[in-house]
Structure 1
């Protein structure tokens, strides 16, 4: 399988962040894939899902947020994160303009992407896919983090574990229902916020990754034809 190409993306303030572009032969969609708060674009979970998406004919552009590029543990301000999202999406569209374009990411990365989309629609993006959307902090259930989704007009796909402590299932279902037909929810039985499943589930984490990739690819391809 093709290896990812290392890129450098310039941000409006003059700094640069690293990125990885993976374009499989026969790619039918492109996903701009942001990382979570605690681990960067080369985290095993990011890499394995990018590999599985490539096998499903989905190209990916993974990128670092500025704080992760600096090696800091403190996440960027929303404005800085949103600028990084916008720059990554613009770079993806510039490089592969013929492919249907989608954006999102794991946890924090997905939320920063949706916030950016709510403030100013990302050019060319046809939909957002969230891998473990962080609806609320652990132990503090609420839906405030989803308020901005009402201002997002493109289709939304939520991929969520049923044991996710950052998204109580009844609250998440309510959010998705409120968003109406543009939002879809795919539940991964027994998975936690890291999409890890217990041995007692009868499945492995690798099988979950394949499930995620196949679900995302089918959604991308369907939305790309609309």
Structure 2
């Protein structure tokens, strides 16, 4: 059984699934704050833990992330369970995540069956490459996508900075915005004049605009 939390609001405009990154579970402060901001703009959110994270929490040991096939299967299961247990006849569904979670979601955007169920993908701090390994690019999900992808990236993200990303060849379905002086967690330095709270709010507002642009009647996808 996959651990999930639903955070719902009255009169939502959309439903999103938000997956965590490598080292932070669904209860992490960043995840919780983003969910709160989503709710404030009338978006329902489902969070969940990948299996390796539940194993970490249960045994108190730092296990490595599952390999991509297992991560994809877990995310698919969350999508299918959400659809089977909720009345989605009017709510469009968008999937996304933080860092690794966003990579998994973006990879699903080329899955024919999943593409029938979702309207788009959002990525908060997409891991374009590992730290200090700019030659090991992870562009394939952004090149093969069948759905629009919206990426929110810190300008100085060590897993893909603005200076690097502008030179990458990715699908025209992908759009990326950059938050001033933000790192991989969107956090800017004090001297920038911005705050993490401002950048998190900007991220969610950007995703909301993306959702409003791409939402359709979900009933046509069921």
TM-score normalised by the chain length of structure 2: 0.88
Q: Return the alpha-carbon distance in structure 1 between the equivalents of residues 158 and 212 of structure 2.
A: 30
Pair 1:135 & 2:128 matched: yes
Among residues 183, 189, 197, which one is paired with 2:180 in the alignment? 189
Residue correspondences, number: 209
Offset of residue 148 of structure 1? 3.2
Q: Which runs of 5+ in 1 are unaligned?
A: 1-15
Q: Return the alpha-carbon distance in structure 1 between the equivalents of residues 79 and 197 of structure 2.
A: 28
- RMSD of aligned Cα (Å): 1.7
35 and 162 in structure 1: CA distance in 2 versus 1, 3 angstrom threshold: same
Q: Which residue of 2 aligns with 1:10?
A: none
Counterparts of 1:48-197 in structure 2 under 5 Å? Answer: 48-71=33-56, 72-94=62-84, 95-97=86-88, 98-122=90-114, 123-142=116-135, 144-175=137-168, 178-180=170-172, 182-197=173-188
Q: Which runs of 5+ in 2 are unaligned?
A: 57-61, 218-222
75 and 142 in structure 1: CA distance in 2 versus 1, 3 angstrom threshold: same
Offset of residue 120 of structure 1? 4.3
Runs (4+) of structure 1 exceeding 6 A deviation are none
Segment drifting more, 111-120 vs 67-76: 111-120
Higher strand share: 1
1:82–1:112 CA contact under 8 A, matched in 2: yes
1:141–1:168 CA contact under 8 A, matched in 2: no
Q: Return the alpha-carbon distance in structure 2 between the equivalents of residues 174 and 58 of structure 1.
A: 33
Q: Return the alpha-carbon distance in structure 1 between the equivalents of residues 46 and 179 of structure 2.
A: 24
TM-score normalised by the chain length of structure 1: 0.87
**CA displacement 1:44-87 (0-9 Å, x = unmatched):** 00000000010011111110000001114310121111111101
2:93–2:117 CA contact under 8 A, matched in 1: yes
Counterparts of 1:5-84 in structure 2 under 5 Å? Answer: 16-71=1-56, 72-84=62-74
Structure 1 SS opposite 2:153: strand
2:119–2:216 CA contact under 8 A, matched in 1: no
Offset of residue 178 of structure 1? 3.4
Structure 2 SS opposite 1:105: strand
Q: Return the alpha-carbon distance in structure 1 between the equivalents of residues 213 and 193 of structure 2.
A: 30
